[in-house]
Structure formats: C-alpha cells, structure tokens
Amino acid sequence: MALIELDEVSKIFGFGDAATLALDEVGLSVNKGEFVAVMGPSGSGKTTLMNVIGLLDKPSHGNYNLSGQPVSRLKPNQQARFRRDRIGFVFQFYNLLPNLNVLDNVSLPLAYKGMTPVRRAKRASDILELVGMREREYFYPHQLSGGQAQRAAIARALINKPNIIIADEPTGNLDSHDSKVVMELLAEIHRQGNTILLVTHNPELTRYANRVIYMYDGTIVGDEQTAIGQMARHARRIFFRKPRTTDNDIAAGVSAMLKDVPGKEVTAATKRRKAKGKKRTLRRRATRSKR
C-alpha cells in the first residue's frame, strides 16, 4: 500500500473569473522511503501540492489517502493531529519565531503534547546535537547564518519524529556550502527510512532523490526514477541547455531555465523522420536552382 495516494486531486483558489486551477486532477502515489524531488516552473503548483499532502490545505476535489486513511475527509482537529505526528515541514525562509531562542523554537511543537518543560528541552537538545546546532541552542534566529537557521528549522521538523518530511525549496535562500550541509542532513534523514518530498529549482539537487516529478500548469507532466548520486535525466537536460533568455526574464530576474518542462522523448524514429525531411528540402532546393 502506498504511503501517499492522491486520486484526481484538484485545488481551485478564488471564484468565478478570478479562479485559479492550481492543481488539475493530480494523481500521485508515493511509497514509504522514497525521496521525491518536485520540479517545475514558478506557479506550476508545487507548493500547493505540498500543502495538500502536508494537510495544510484541503483539496477542492478528489481523494487523498495517507497510509490508507482518507485524510481529506477528517475533521480539522484530527487532521492537525495527523500532521503533528506524521509530517515535518521545512520552508525556504525557515519560519522560526524571532522572539524565541533556538531551543524554544525547536521544542515548541512538543508543548502542544503536554510534555514537561524539562523533557521538552532535553529532547530538543538531543535533536539539535544531531543537526550540529547544540552549541547555538541559546542563540536567537537573527544571530544565526542562513544555514544554521535552516538546520534549526530541520531540528524543529524532526522533533515529533515524523516519517514524512516536506521541504519546500529549503536551500532556496542558502549559498552552495550551506545548501550542501542541509541536503546532507536530509539525505541522512532519508537513509534512516523516512520519506522525503523536496521542492527545488536546482537540477543538481535531484542527485539526492530516487524519483523526480515535474509539474506544469497544475499537472504532473513527468515522473522519472533516478539513481541516488546522479542528476535526473530531464533535470540534466534543463541544466545543460543554454538558457533561452528573453528581456522579460531578465527584467524579472528569473532564469529562463526554469520555464523548461520535459519535452517529448526524441526517438530514433523522429530523428530519422527529421533527417529524411532535411534531405527532401535539400533535393527540392537543388532542383529549383537547376531550373
């Protein structure tokens, strides 16, 4: 049985003329222990998909089963319990509370479980040790580097021992060194048997995944199994293609790379067809010049 099972899940924001179809009958099934990277251009529905899977948002239509349970029909407080115990979130901008120190930020989710402050602090300390942040447990978020803040956020995500980690562009705000530290941490969490869903714009990071799904306009347009350590095939194509930059892209500060979606496979047959077409044009040109 799949851990995560979406069946024709749609999400509509707004009403009437202003309605946006953010997810368009998405079907997806993820098994326990998979590391899934989610790629796709801005606005393609990646975050919406993560929020539905993470029970932060309800689908407008369709079914969502988590461990075989139809969770989209649960009451809000039942959903909240599911979310708290099963799912850990990591966001691009860390979402740490500025007026709490690292230790309190990390132990906060335990407060809702009625654990004593001493036990909470002990558990939080242990997890901070795990992410290499023990010596900064009394720091406040503004005193941390991006990488340190993200490691604290990962510790917070792990505190309830969830088995699904949803990371929405967790390295989007980090330099390459800090990105690596954070990704190695996610890789370690994956090796311990957890299921990871990672949204990223960086094709390099597909090396950590064993599956990549590509989204476009609210649908999944590609789904690729890939070996850990290797860049996914479609992602590689996006990575090494010369960006087709337009003035608008430059103005928006966005790389045109992100606009690419996996195209049709170029098969030997299409290559042959193309070559034949070229020969024919050359022949036609040749006869025309003779005339």
Q: Which residues bind ligand ATP (CB under 6 A)?
A: 13-14, 20, 22, 40, 42-48
DSSP 146: H
Rounded Cα distance between 46 and 91, Å, is 13
Which residues lie below 8 Å from residue 9, measured CB to CB, with a gap of 6+?
Answer: 23, 25, 26, 27, 28, 52, 59, 61, 62, 63, 64
Encoded tokens for 143: 């005193």
Nearer to ligand ATP, 56 or 74 (CB): 56
47 binds Mg ion per the rule CB under 5 A: yes
51 binds Mg ion per the rule CB under 5 A: no
Q: Distance from CA of residue 140 to its chain's centroid?
A: 27
Q: Which does 143 bind (CB under 5 to 8 A by kind): Mg ion, ligand ATP, none?
A: none
Q: Which does 44 bind (CB under 5 to 8 A by kind): Mg ion, ligand ATP, none?
A: ligand ATP
Q: Which does 43 bind (CB under 5 to 8 A by kind): ligand ATP, Mg ion, none?
A: ligand ATP
Rounded Cα distance between 148 and 101, Å, is 13
| Residue nearest to Mg ion as judged by C-beta position | 47
CB of 252 to Mg ion, least distance (A): 16
Of 41-49, 153-161, 202-210, 282-290, which segment contacts Mg ion by CB under 5 A?
41-49
Which residues lie below 8 Å from residue 17, measured CB to CB, with a gap of 6+?
Answer: none
CB of 95 to ligand ATP, least distance (A): 15
Residues of this chain that bind Mg ion (CB under 5 A): 47
